[in-house]
Structure formats: C-alpha cells, structure tokens
Structure 1
C-alpha cells in the first residue's frame, strides 16, 4: 500500500457510520475503500426478513434519519453530517483515503474511469435479466443474460480496456497515475464482485482485457482488501 494512503488515512480523526442492509449491494465499494484507507467505521446493517422486510430500516426511514438519501440506504454518517447517494459516499471516502490522485486532473481522470464502470453497470441493469427484474419469463431472462455476457459485456470491456491502456499503457497495474486509486477499485468491483457464477461469466467476457485483469488482480491482492473479503459477513447479494 502506498505510504501516502497510510498517512492520509491515519490523519482522519472523525467518526463514520455506514448504514445499509445486511448485504454487499450498493455499499460494498464504500466498505472496500474504507478498508484500503484503514478508516475505522461502524458497519450498521439492517437485517432483512422474508419478503425483504426490514423493520429497523423502516423505523429509521420513518424517523427522518435517512432524509438526505431520500429515505433510502445506504447513507454515510460523518461528524459534519450525513451523505446520501452511494457514488457520493465512495468519492468522499476515496478522497479521505488518498485514492483520488495527486492533482485535479488526476482526480477528474479517476472519476472518468469510475463513470465508465457505472455506464457498464447501468447497461446491464437496462438489459433486464436480473432476479429482481419484472415482466419477463425465466426463458426471456436467460436469453437476455446470454446476450449480455456473450456479446454486450465483452464489447463494453474492450472499450474500457482501450481507455485504460491509453491512460497507463498495456498491462498497467493501475488505471491512473501509477498508484492505487478509486478507479482501480471500481474496475475490481466490476470484474470480481458478485456470485461465483456471475464472476465466472464476467471473467470469460474479460478474457481479452489483460490490463483490466491486472488492475483487478492488484486490488484483490492488497492485504486490506484480501482481509476484508475473507472476513466480511456472507450475504446473498
């Protein structure tokens, strides 16, 4: 881990509480960034019952505790106030952990790569084959899934690979600036997070993207990330 990250992380003296369901979901990238930065926080998880019933979440929503995220989770509570929107939370933690580059230009470039990753995720969601997608039969979802992993995703990843190669060269370990950044964590999440079945399909789709694979492997091998992934609660999503 670069020394700059350790110094910036140790300089942060405030308290942090991350509130989300007992799941990886929209909060997991923030948790990984917190782990890399060595930032201490309370990992507050709303238990999920049958039918996605979450009484504690409902009570907090009714109390007004989640207003800054429009009565949704996740939300990050700091000494200065609360932050809604998962991407805003990620960027806040990335800055505190020294993962947003060494200049305004590097920060914008890191943000650019992160937004490219979000475009890929949004395209997958629009495809509409997830378990939560409504209005489609299982056969229709299976067809859409095959299209996504077999054609759409390889195309997206090929373009993302070309972008990162132009930024840092083929086989680079980091997307921007020659050191670990928020962009690398987003790439790792895209390629390595999910069910074993999903990760296998993504890995196959990314077979020709050697630089993306190098970046994802580098993040996975960070001691803080490896420790978190091995010790985090086992959840269904």
Structure 2
C-alpha cells in the first residue's frame, strides 16, 4: 500500500535519535520536509503526545497519532512500500529491526547512553565475547553476546540478493544503515560535539572493521548509503543536537 503524506508530522527533539529512521524512509520514498511532511523539531514537549504517554517521538496524521519508534517505523515503511512484498517478508523485516534493538540494548549495558566510552569499554564490545554465528546459540555465553556475536548472527539471517530481506530496499536495510553507518559530519555538529557521539557505536573505525566480515550486511548498508534520497537528505538536514 502506498500513500501520500502531506498531512504527516514527526514530533521529536532537534536531533537524529529515534526519528532518523522515519526521516530516512521518507527520503528514500522521495519525500522531504516542507511539501511532503512536517519535521517537527521541538525544544520542549508540544501538546498532543498522548499516543506515546506524553513523550516523544510521536507521528501525527489526520487519521490519528501513534507513538513508540517501532510503531512509527512500521507506519512509515508500510505506507511507502518499504515493508516487503509479502506478509512473511514484512515479518522478517520487523525481525531484523528487533535484532538491532536487542544488540543496542546489550551495547548500552557496556556504554550507557550519554556516557563517554573508554578504550576498555570499546575493546570489550568490539573485540571480545561469544563468536558462534551458526547453529543453535550457545546459551551458556549469553552474557558475552557482544558485537562479533550480533554481527555474525544478523549476517547469517539476511538474504543473498543484496538487500537485507527480499529483492528491494526496506525498513530492514534502513535500520541496519542507521545502526552501523550513520555518521554526523563536522558541518552537522554543534559546538563541542564529541567525535564518538557522531559515530556508530561510538567508533566508526571499529564498526567498519567489524563489517569486513559481513558482506551481506555491508551490501544492504551500501544500498541505503548510495540511494539518491539518502544523499539528498544528508545534504539538507543541517546541524543536529544529537
């Protein structure tokens, strides 16, 4: 199902965070702030946030509003032909999103959001832990599921056609790009913005090295990175608060 979205409003803070995936989905669909949707960037919570328990992010349309990033991502993907071509593909796309969410929950146990990462933190996340990437997962090493385990397992779950799921770009590819390749350029950073805050998992170099062993994951990311909509969006989004 496709839909025009001139009445769409994305309410969030002035940064990337939980609203960057919907913005990128819209850009890939050829839709940008202004004529196509309202990119509401707020310095204080606006009215009308009941759909997310008084918090942001909230997506608002003439039909109603929805909160929670997983639901917002679903809505934007489903209304812009970015949720696969069958119910099974849609389910698998949502599964990839859930895998990434789980992985980042594990990462944040080592590097809490907003905390300056130490070299010890990053070495633990990127260089140690379980590495079994096929067959039943080794439950005895559950507490040691760090970057290598997650990347290996996600890589094994992806399709071979150059996209994460199926034969076309989808929410799954965008989520992978957002997690593993989203970088804030110097021109997009406010004063005093630390490098580690602008890079995936606090280190672009370490993340890129990790992806060398994941050609399917890397291929899906490149599809998003090289899309004209992505390039246009990155060229216009401006300074971000985070």
Whether these two folds match at TM > 0.5 is yes
> In the TM superposition, what are the counterparts of 1:199-218 in structure 2 within 5 Å?
199-218=204-223
> In the TM superposition, what are the counterparts of 1:101-120 in structure 2 within 5 Å?
101-120=84-103
Alignment partner, residue 75 of structure 2: 92
Does residue 1:132 correspond to 2:114, yes or no? yes
Distance 1:131 1:110, change over 3 A: closer
Aligned-partner SS, 1:180: coil
Greater Cα shift, 22-31 or 118-127: 118-127
How far residue 236 of structure 1 moved from its aligned partner, in angstroms, is 4.1
TM-score by length of 2: 0.78
How far residue 130 of structure 1 moved from its aligned partner, in angstroms, is 3.8
**2:84·2:90 contact (CA, 8 Å) conserved in 1?**
yes
Q: Please, what is the CA RMSD of the aligned residues?
A: 1.9
**2:14·2:241 contact (CA, 8 Å) conserved in 1?**
no
How far residue 44 of structure 1 moved from its aligned partner, in angstroms, is 0.9
**2:19·2:57 contact (CA, 8 Å) conserved in 1?**
yes
Alignment partner, residue 234 of structure 1: 239
**1:101·1:110 contact (CA, 8 Å) conserved in 2?**
yes
Alignment partner, residue 185 of structure 1: 174
Does residue 1:46 correspond to 2:42, yes or no? yes
In structure 2, what is the Cα distance between the partners aligned to 1:179 and 1:231? 25
**Any idea what the Cα deviations from partners look like across 1:8-37, whole Å, max 9, x if unmatched?**
65x425510101111001110011011112
Which structure has the highest helix share of the two?
Answer: 1
TM-score by length of 1: 0.80
Greater Cα shift, 213-222 or 203-212: 203-212
**2:164·2:172 contact (CA, 8 Å) conserved in 1?**
yes
How far residue 85 of structure 1 moved from its aligned partner, in angstroms, is 0.3
Unpaired stretches in structure 1, ≥5 consecutive residues: 1-7, 48-55
**1:150·1:205 contact (CA, 8 Å) conserved in 2?**
no
Aligned-partner SS, 1:157: helix
Unpaired stretches in structure 2, ≥5 consecutive residues: 129-145, 184-197
In structure 1, what is the Cα distance between the partners aligned to 2:218 and 2:241? 25
